[in-house]
Structure formats: structure tokens, C-alpha cells
Amino acid sequence: MNLIRAGRRDFPAPAGFLIDDDRRNEVAEYFADLTRPYNTAAGTELSGQSYGEMAKALIATVVPADEPVDLLVLAFSIHDMWPGRATATFLSHLCPGTPLSFALCDQGSAAPFTALRLIREHRPRRALLLAVEQAMLPYDSPAVLPKEHRGVALLCGNDDSAGSRIAGLAQHPDVAAPDVPALAAQALTELSAGHDDVRLVLGETLADAWPGAAEHTRAAAGQPMTGVWWQLADTLAESAGLVVIGDYDRDLRYLCLAAIQAR
Amino acid sequence: MTALDAVSVYTPAFRVPLENLAEPLGLTDIQVRLFRRFHGLDEIRFDPDRSLADLLHAAAAGIDGLRGQEDRVRYVIHGRAMPVVVPYPRNPLHEVCRQLGLAHALTFTVTQQSCASGLLAVDLAGRLLDGDGDPDALALVFTGEKAFTRDARLLPGTSIFGEGAAACLVSTDGPRDRLLAYACDQQGGFDAEFGESFDRFQREYRPSLAAVMRRAVAEARLGFDDIALVLPHNVNIVTWQRLCHLIDYPVDRVVLANVPVNGHLFCVDAFANHRTALEQGLLREGDHYLVAAVGAGAGATYSAMVFRH
């Protein structure tokens, strides 16, 4: 499976869907019901983004009409502000190829790595991975919010002549922070075997948990879901060679790495 | 080949008569009578004392083959209808995995196919296990959720959701229920972004489900005559009567016994009906059966799986 094309966007402007009063009321009722059993007060302010709108823009960026997609995976950690919507099903209608579509969540920053793995197992002609995060929760939460609303789209395909080969994936569940350096070093060694020139991109949390890591590019701070994938597009474009990206989810204890062979 | 090694279903004992739901769901007397007489609903199951994590844990506790085999479980997947069910960053799925000794498993939720997400989870579990190539590895698929908000309690004019959960052990070479085919068709054009489409959805519902069922049967290289039993989604009885007429299939071979006593249990229906089929001796060794699910709401997903028992 190759990474054919990557696209990325931030979304600084207010989302359009909350302009509609009926939609606002519907969303407010949902969040009130969601938080009530937890004695968490739902706030009165509704802003933030819908992943439907963000993904729609990303699809337009990376999927031309003559490159139909067979599979679409929407990966997120923090939920969006249109919580009851079957967004992936909506995206199936918009994306060329009307792909089989679903969302993958509840796995923190490991979700895009798992999505890549599922894409590989499906063996589609083309697949689209969308990693998204928005920076608003309408209730009190201990979560640290992302700095910006951001999304990354990765168009993958089985045509070996196009794009950068996804050479390997490593996922380790239930990793305590003190065990990260040794396990990450081992995974990096295995993924980069036979390669002299390896560029390493680390998510903020992994970079902090792995102080002795080899020379690396640190992904943007405050973007736990999209950080490494945002940086990946730049790094692949710089020069040929193996790029290894990695991230660590401290709360859910997932350590994930992926190797991509840039051409 | 993906196989269901064990299926466990938790349905709460507490049931609420349809009439008692009229006020909280804003149903008129006529709507209640329609649900009862026309759609065949009677009581809906709820478990006000159990959280989502409790529901999932209760389902997993019913799998005899899980205890002592935890180290074989590589993946835990929750196939969930509602995309957002707890305030972020709460994570009941991982909470349950820790309680069950499954913290070592790669655990995640698949959603946004509404009530068809459960069948998707089974398919993905099989693909992941197949990719690993370890015949001893297992995946645990969860379905089930709380009916916590109006969208999660009522399908207007169609069905009423209840609470429950199922857990299913999946392997690549189990001897019991082997997956022969999986078909899925999504119609995102029913999303609210494209305007009101309720009437069109009602018109296209049964033909679309029939088409995906036919596709699954054909991909299994079978005909409907070879399908001993259909395990439906428990949306209502009249839908299945009409669908059977459409595909010329005997309605008495569709397991509808749970519609009046459960309500529509999100992605759990297929597994609850599987349990009923076994309890009532409706499946014999070698029988082929079809499982159907529809994710309806914002957009539509029609899914069908064919198994050999």
C-alpha cells in the first residue's frame, strides 16, 4: 500500500452548520442529555467544528473525480460539535467512488495508525484516511483541547508506481511511560532495518516520553491527533528515503510507529 | 475465514410498556397504538442502574470461552450506532478492557454506520486477525449502548430503541458460525445536509435492504432457498413482513420473537436473535443463515452477512 497524496488544512473560520437555529437546538439537547448522567454541566456556548464540513473540504483537496476511492476511514479522538451525525456515511456520498466508510475512535492518537492497518487489510485500489481534531467541548472537561481545528487527508493506493510505500506499522497497547524509550527504540530499529538514512518525526507526547530519541522533527505542539500526520506531508516532500513517524497516547497507553518510504 | 466462536447477550430484565414511554418520547395515543398494533412493539428493555461500561461488562461475563483465554485476545472492537455516547475524554470501552484483563489488546470503536456498525466490527475483526496469520488469536466484538437521548430512543414512525449489549468472540478458524459473505451499501444522500428525505427513505428502505441481502447471498454462492433462517434487526414486524413479500421468503423463517419484548437494541439485535435461534433449536449444523442490519438516521447503511452454522 502506498501513500499517493497528502492534504492538510486548518479551519479558523466558524462552522456553518451552527448558524441554523434548529440545528443548534438539536445539538444543545444532545449535549445536555450526554452530560446529565455525569453531573457535568453543558455550557451554553456552541462553537467549534463539524467533522463533516472539515472532511468535505479535505476530500476536495486530495481526491479528484477520476480517482475513485473504495474505502474511507475517518479517525478522531475528541468528538465534533455535530455528535449524532453518521458523518462517515455522509462522506461516502461526497467522496468519488462512494466508498465503504466508517469512523474509528476511542483510541486517542493511535486511531490513524489503526486506520492505516485496516486499510492495508482491506487491500483497496484506493483508500482515504482522514485524521481530524477540533478544539471545542461544550461542557466542563479535564481534557486538554487541541490548539486549532485541523485535518489531514492521506490518499492511499495499491499502485506501487505511485507515491510513497507504507513500509511498516508497529502498534503497542498498554505501554507505561517509563517503558516507552526502550520499546520505541526497538520498534524504530525493526522498522528501519536495512536503511542508513532515516528521518524520524515524533508527536509531542512521544518526544517528551523518549528523551534519548535519535535526531528527529518534533510535530507541532497542541495537536495530539493530527500533529505527526501534518508534519509527514512536509517530510516526505523534502527528499527520498525512509521516514518513520511515531506517537504515544499517555492516557490510553498506545505507542504507534509507521515507516514510509519516500521517493 | 472469519468465525464466531462464542456469542453472549445481556438484555436487562427491566421492561417498560410502550404506553409508559409516550410522555418522555412525546408520542400521541395514535402513535403508541400504531407502534403496538402495526409495528408489533410491546415492551422496551432498559437498565437504568447500569452504565455503558456495565452493559458491556455484563455481556462479556457471559462468554465462557473468554476467561483464561484473555492473552489470546488481540483486538477489542466496539461496533456502535451512536458516535458520541459519553463526555470526552471518558472511555468506557478501555475501562471494561482493563476490568476484563484485556488491556494488552488493541481496542477501538467503529461507528457512523448507525445500527449497521456491529456487522462492520465483526468484518474488521476478521480482517485484522487474518492479517496477523496467527490461528490462535481472537478478537472480542462488543455491541450495545445506552438510550440516553431522543435520537437514541426513537426512530420516528419506525421503532423505539432499548438497552442491552452483546459480546462476540471472533477467530479465523472457529468451527461454529463461519462468515461466508458480507455486503454493505451506504446512502449518504439521506443526510440532513441534502434536505428532508424521510418519505424517499421510507420508499427506498425495503428495496435497498433487499438488494444488499441478495448481494450477500449471491457472494456466498447461495440462493434464498438455501437460507434456513434470517436474523433481522428488530426495527418492527411489519417491515419484515413486507420485505419477505418483496424477496419471496417465508416470514416464519425470520426470527421476530424479540421485537415485542426487546425493542430495537441498536447493533445488538443480530446477536440477540442468534441466541434465540440457538435456544429454540432453529439452527442445525450446516445451516446457512443471513443476518441483516440497517443503520438509519442521518444517512443510511444497509448490511447483510451470510454464515454457515
The pLDDT value recorded for residue B197 is 82
Q: How far apart are CA B285 and CA B308, in angstroms?
A: 8
Choose among B250, B249, B255, B252: nearest CA to B270. B255
Mean pLDDT, residues A145-171: 95
Q: How far apart are CA A64 and CA A155, in angstroms?
A: 11
Instruction: Report which residue type is found at B177.
Output: D
Residue B127, pLDDT above cutoff 80:
yes
DSSP string for B159-188: EEB--EEEEEEEESS-SSEEEEEEEEEEEG
Domain B177-308 classified CATH 3.30.420.40?
no
pLDDT tens-digit readout, B151-187: 889 988 889 999 999 999 999 988 889 999 999 999 9
CB proximity A255 to B under 8 Å: no
Residues of chain B contacting A174 with CB distance shorter than 8 Å: 103-104
Whether A218 and A252 share a structural domain: yes
Closest chain A residue to B132, measured at CA: A121
Query: Given the C-alpha cell 436473535, which residue does it identify?
Result: B273
The pLDDT value recorded for residue B186 is 97
Cβ atoms B32, B148 nearer than 8 A: no
Cβ atoms A152, A225 nearer than 8 A: no
Of B91, B117, B150, the CB nearest to A29: B150
Mean pLDDT, residues B179-197: 91
Cβ atoms A137, A230 nearer than 8 A: no
Of B104, B128, B191, the CB nearest to A121: B128
The pLDDT value recorded for residue A27 is 94
Whether A180 and A77 share a structural domain: no
Question: Quick check: A102 and B191 CB within 8 A?
Answer: no
The pLDDT value recorded for residue B2 is 97
The pLDDT value recorded for residue A239 is 87
Interface of A with B in 22-41 (CB under 8 A): 23, 29-30, 33-35, 37-38, 40
pLDDT tens-digit readout, B2-34: 999 999 999 999 999 999 999 999 999 999 999
Whether A24 and A115 share a structural domain: yes
Whether A146 and A180 share a structural domain: no
Whether A55 and A79 share a structural domain: yes
Question: Quick check: A118 and B104 CB within 8 A?
Answer: no
Whether A133 and A181 share a structural domain: no
Question: Quick check: B150 and A101 CB within 8 A?
Answer: no
Whether A28 and A149 share a structural domain: yes
Whether A153 and A169 share a structural domain: no
Q: How far apart are CA B291 and CA B274, in angstroms?
A: 9
Final residue before a domain boundary, out of A115, A137, A157: A157
Whether A100 and A183 share a structural domain: no
Q: How far apart are CA A122 and CA A116, in angstroms?
A: 10
Tally of structural domains, chain A: 2
The pLDDT value recorded for residue A237 is 86
Residue B112, pLDDT above cutoff 90:
yes
Residue B64, pLDDT above cutoff 90:
no
Q: How far is CA A58 from CA A5, A52, A65, A152, in A?
A: 12, 10, 14, 7
CB proximity A110 to B under 8 Å: yes
Residue B210, pLDDT above cutoff 90:
yes
Which domain CATH number covers A188? 3.40.47.10
Which CATH code for domain B3-171? 3.40.47.10
**Mutation target vs B (from A53, A74, A102; most B CBs, 10 A cutoff):** A102
Mean pLDDT, residues B107-116: 97
Work out the pLDDT band at A212, boundaries 50, 70, 90.
Answer: very high
Whether A20 and A73 share a structural domain: yes
Q: Say if residue A68 is preceded by a cis peptide, omega within 30 of 0.
A: no
The pLDDT value recorded for residue B309 is 97
The pLDDT value recorded for residue B175 is 87
Q: How far apart are CA B290 and CA B293, in angstroms?
A: 10
Whether A153 and A76 share a structural domain: yes
Question: Quick check: B131 and A117 CB within 8 A?
Answer: yes
Residue B184 pairs with which residues in a beta bridge? B303
Whether A41 and A68 share a structural domain: yes
Q: How far apart are CA B70 and CA B291, in angstroms?
A: 28
**ipTM surpassing 0.95, yes or no?**
yes
Same fold for the pair B3-171 and B177-308:
yes
Residue B196, pLDDT above cutoff 80:
no
Q: State the residue range of the domain holding A135.
A: 2-157
Question: Quick check: B83 and A35 CB within 8 A?
Answer: no
Percent of chain A with pLDDT over 90: 88
Q: Where are the domains of chain B?
A: 3-171, 177-308
Q: All 3 cell numbers of residue B129?
A: 486477525
Closest chain A residue to B124, measured at CA: A118
Residue B198, pLDDT above cutoff 90:
no
